[in-house]
Structure 1
Amino acid sequence: MGFRTDISERQRRFGDELRRLRNSAGLSSAEIGDVLGMKSPAVSHTEAGRLGLNLERLDLWLDTCGAHDPEYRAGLIAMCKSNGKGWWTEYRPHVVPEALDLAEFEATSTSFINYQTHLIPGFLQTKAYIEVIHEYAEKKVEFRLRRQQMITAESSSPFHAVIHEAALHMMYGGPAVMREQLNHLIEMARLPHVTIQILPFDSTVYASTDTAFLLMHGAHTRLDTVLLENPHGPTFVGDPEGVAAFRRKFDRLKGMALPPLNASVDGPSPAFRDSWGMIQHVRYKLLGR
């Protein structure tokens, strides 16, 4: 089998998991290769995602390294068997490879947590807002709308977002677009599996609130993945320590944020400030603009 020239994030992550398992078991590339009937360079290429692995050898790799958790094994088997194709494949000519990788990860995720600083989370954006963000590129807009089906279709995955108040005040597209966007947030909060919290400007606690991220829960916690948004482009984080750090960060952020938006009531509770009241306050200010 020839080397892959274009390695997807799933293939790269699969190789990373194999390498972590081998290292945890205290085995060298040559030692695991002897068990699997592979030469050491082939093991290295497999761990780098350049070579695939058949299911028989995967089972042997997992057994040898002591990976017996059934959910973790099932997740790795699914990653190994996947051909990487899905609804996102047709958009390959129109979006960057990282967007395709993200859609593939989302398709196998069981739930999502998202922190955003200056943008409304992608899953919660209106079409008009997306058009502004993507400069009216039709296929990119269509791609974003297709991704939203992860939380709008039947049997959707749970989604919890903490949105910095700054994102509510950014006038992307003008007041009319933002009014519609804020209305949409309220409507999305009516979905039983969607939780929305606002992190206010007047928060007195610092929790490294400058970096937006999306944490996607996989078939097992060891297969959770973080998409980290950077000026130079998106980065995927899959090592357990890194993912755990973002999980702790989100727990702190949601503790700092206002209580979740409850769109089932007519107004915010008089007893405390909440996310519903914050969104309504910003929305009313837009009425005069």
Structure 2
Amino acid sequence: MSSSTAPTARRRRLGAELRKLRERAGITATEAARLLGGNQARISNIEAGRYGVSAERVRTLSCHYACADGTLVNALAAMTGDRRRGWWEEYREILPTELLDLAELEHHGTALRTSHTAGLPGLLQTTDHAREIFRQVVPALPPPEIEHRLSFRIKRQSVVFRERPAPYRAVVHEAALRMRFGGPAVAKQQLTHLLAMSERDGVTIRIIPFEAGGFPGTGQPVCYVHGAVPQLDTVQLDQAHGIALLDAEAELLTYRRLLDRLELLALDTTESRDLVRRIIQSL
């Protein structure tokens, strides 16, 4: 069992799920430690993500907790298996930890759904468009950090370019398409890239036109990352103070319903491409 001064989002989530199983079983941390042959501090550190845990111990704890969901137990055990450092670790101590958590989450997701109203999804942005976005951040970012964030965002896009990418579904409002970050030339390049991405296998981009009228939600960007089993899904929200990750059952249900309703308002893929083309021609 290894320790870490910087527990990853994946390790923290594994610990949180083990805690949920323990609490549902009505077992205290002290009792769990006794069953495992350790002390309470060890269980607390595992559940906080400060200590790693082997697949064998995950299965042992799940058995003690009387978890009959074999699919969930297998998924939790699988979360212990990849001990390689992800590419995002290169940016630790350089960028906020929450950005590294997001990259790790996307990397392990089995499917991604997202909605954007005033901006375009980061996984679909061009380099010039993304750079202009970072230049608009308040308070202003120093030039070196802009470049770090830019290279990080471009590397995140590997999830839609790898050999077997997870299915990616994006709903984007027409307002986001008409934002001219960097001027007409950059905007035209960005929309052309969006069209090309919409043709990739596994990528679905649908547009909500102005004519659709009102839409549910506050308009904030939402990313829903599917886990190996529904219990391991996560919602990522972009907020003024940073990134928020949600995984409570009620929260997951709320955002699934929100994304479903937004997709009902959106044009189909062919109509969406036609709208993007018309906007390109107007630039």
Normalising by structure 1, we get a TM-score of 0.86
Count residues with an aligned counterpart. Answer: 274
> Which residue of the partner structure matches residue 252 of structure 2?
243
For 1:159 and 1:29, how far apart are their aligned partners in 2? 39
> Which residue of the partner structure matches residue 86 of structure 1?
86
Unaligned runs of 5+ in 1: 263-273
Asked whether the 8 Å contact 1:13–1:238 carries over to 2, the reply is no
The alpha-carbon deviation at position 28 of structure 1 amounts to 2.3
> Which residue of the partner structure matches residue 266 of structure 1?
none
For 1:208 and 1:14, how far apart are their aligned partners in 2? 30
The alpha-carbon deviation at position 62 of structure 1 amounts to 0.9
> Comparing 101-110 with 169-178, which one deviates more in the overlay?
101-110
Q: Which amino acid aligns with 2:104?
A: E
For 2:219 and 2:164, how far apart are their aligned partners in 1? 32
The alpha-carbon deviation at position 91 of structure 1 amounts to 2.4
> Which residue of the partner structure matches residue 105 of structure 1?
105
> Which residue of the partner structure matches residue 161 of structure 1?
170
For 1:52 and 1:92, how far apart are their aligned partners in 2? 19
The alpha-carbon deviation at position 240 of structure 1 amounts to 2.4
> Which residue of the partner structure matches residue 174 of structure 1?
183
> Which residue of the partner structure matches residue 232 of structure 1?
241
> Which residue of the partner structure matches residue 125 of structure 1?
125
Q: What is the aligned-residue RMSD (CA, Å)? A: 2.1
1:151 aligns with 2:148: no
For 1:279 and 1:56, how far apart are their aligned partners in 2? 51
> Which residue of the partner structure matches residue 269 of structure 1?
none
Asked whether the 8 Å contact 2:2–2:52 carries over to 1, the reply is no
Asked whether the 8 Å contact 2:54–2:77 carries over to 1, the reply is no
**Post-superposition CA distance 1:110-163 (Å, at most 9, x none):** 111011122111111111111212336333222211111111222221100001
> Comparing 199-208 with 172-181, which one deviates more in the overlay?
199-208
The alpha-carbon deviation at position 203 of structure 1 amounts to 2.6
Asked whether the 8 Å contact 1:237–1:243 carries over to 2, the reply is yes
Unaligned runs of 5+ in 2: 136-142
Specify whether residues 120 and 65 from structure 1 end up closer, same or farther in structure 2 by C-alpha distance, changes over 3 A only.
same
Asked whether the 8 Å contact 1:94–1:140 carries over to 2, the reply is no
Normalising by structure 2, we get a TM-score of 0.88
For 2:233 and 2:2, how far apart are their aligned partners in 1? 29
For 2:205 and 2:249, how far apart are their aligned partners in 1? 26
> Which residue of the partner structure matches residue 198 of structure 1?
207
> Which residue of the partner structure matches residue 270 of structure 1?
none
1:11 aligns with 2:11: yes
Identity %: 36
> Which residue of the partner structure matches residue 271 of structure 1?
none
Q: Which amino acid aligns with 2:209?
A: P
The alpha-carbon deviation at position 214 of structure 1 amounts to 1.0
